[in-house]
């Protein structure tokens, strides 16, 4: 593939002190190969461990690394919104900071973005607990019923956007897990072209997943109804 002119890469982190350095350092050689100009944005969502400290140390060593920090933990959606807001280049990709995706697979995303507005990953084989599988399938049904769309893996944390596409779906409101539903619902409303790319999924080695937390689930349900109303799905 040819290099893209410019690429913004960002990773949302929350208590990922054992993952952050490896994730960032693995992304740098890939960024150099796929883009002429690039930046890596670390979004620390109010971590209580050493995630922010490590990020700030790395930023002193790496001129292309930018650190954005939330004073307190706000949620996955808030972290993505901060990443989108901070990104300055033509193409914007985010990849979860827990080490469960191989960032080098960005090449296939970039191969598709020329004919698409958004490229979203779907996990070839999802390697997390059965409850997370159940939640994923319930989310698919939920989004089909409430928002009228179906994708193979709605909440896969590996997505690429044209900057113009982000502008068309902004502003984003969700602070929690429903951010991916909001992105796709608004993209559908704007008739944006969305491509899907298969990606490998790897087990989490360090840290804990928050997606199955009951507080996160309840918040997601509330945000979903708010989004449904804001998009006028509830009106004739």
Kindly list the domain boundaries of the chain, sorted by start residue.
Answer: 4-230
pLDDT reported for residue 62: 96
Per residue in 131-153, pLDDT (tens digit) is 777 777 788 888 888 899 999 99
Is the model's pLDDT at 218 over the cut of 90? Answer: no
User: Which residues fall within 8 angstroms of residue 104, CB to CB, at 6 or more apart?
Assistant: 26, 30
End-to-end CA distance of the chain: give it in Å, rounded: 47
Evaluate if residue 160 carries a pLDDT over 50.
yes
Percent of the chain predicted with pLDDT > 70: 94
Question: Is the domain 4-230 a CATH 3.90.550.10 member?
Answer: yes
Per-residue pLDDT tens for 17-34? 999 999 999 999 999 999
At 40-94, the pLDDT tens digits run 999 999 999 999 999 999 999 999 999 999 999 999 999 999 999 999 999 999 9
Over residues 171-196, the mean pLDDT reads 95
Instruction: Write down the pLDDT at residue 120.
Output: 98
Instruction: Give the DSSP H or E segment for 137.
Output: helix 130-147
Q: 161 by DSSP, 3-state: which? A: strand
The pLDDT assigned to 235 comes to 46
Question: Using 50, 70 and 90 to split pLDDT, how confident is the model at 199?
Answer: very high
Radius of gyration of the chain measured on its C-alpha atoms: 17
Q: What is the per-residue pLDDT across 86-132, written as a single tens digit (0 to 9) for each? A: 999 999 999 999 999 999 999 999 999 999 999 999 999 876 766 77
Cα 76-200-123 angle, rounded to 5 deg: 60
């Amino acid at each position: 593939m040819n290099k893209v002119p410019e690429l913004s890469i960002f990773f949302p982190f929350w208590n990922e002190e054992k993952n952050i350095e490896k994730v960032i350092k693995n992304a740098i050689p890939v960024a150099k190969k796929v883009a002429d100009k690039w930046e890596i944005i670390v979004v620390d969502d109010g971590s209580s461990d050493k995630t922010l400290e490590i990020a700030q140390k790395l930023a002193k060593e790496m001129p292309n690394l930018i650190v954005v920090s939330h004073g307190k933990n706000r949620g996955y959606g808030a972290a993505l919104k901060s990443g989108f807001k901070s990104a300055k280049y033509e193409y914007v990709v985010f990849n979860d900071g827990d080490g469960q995706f191989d960032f080098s697979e960005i090449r296939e995303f970039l191969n598709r973005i020329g004919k698409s507005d958004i490229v979203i990953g779907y996990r070839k084989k999802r390697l997390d607990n059965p409850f997370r599988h159940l939640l994923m399938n319930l989310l698919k049904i939920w989004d089909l019923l409430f928002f009228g769309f179906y994708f193979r893996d709605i909440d896969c944390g590996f997505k690429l956007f044209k900057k113009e596409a982000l502008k068309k779906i902004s502003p984003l409101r969700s602070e929690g897990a429903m951010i991916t539903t909001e992105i796709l619902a608004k993209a559908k409303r704007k008739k944006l072209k969305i491509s899907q790319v298969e990606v490998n999924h790897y087990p989490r080695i360090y840290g804990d997943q928050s997606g199955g937390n009951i507080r996160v689930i309840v918040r997601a349900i509330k945000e979903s109804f708010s989004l449904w109303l804001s998009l006028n799905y509830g009106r004739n």
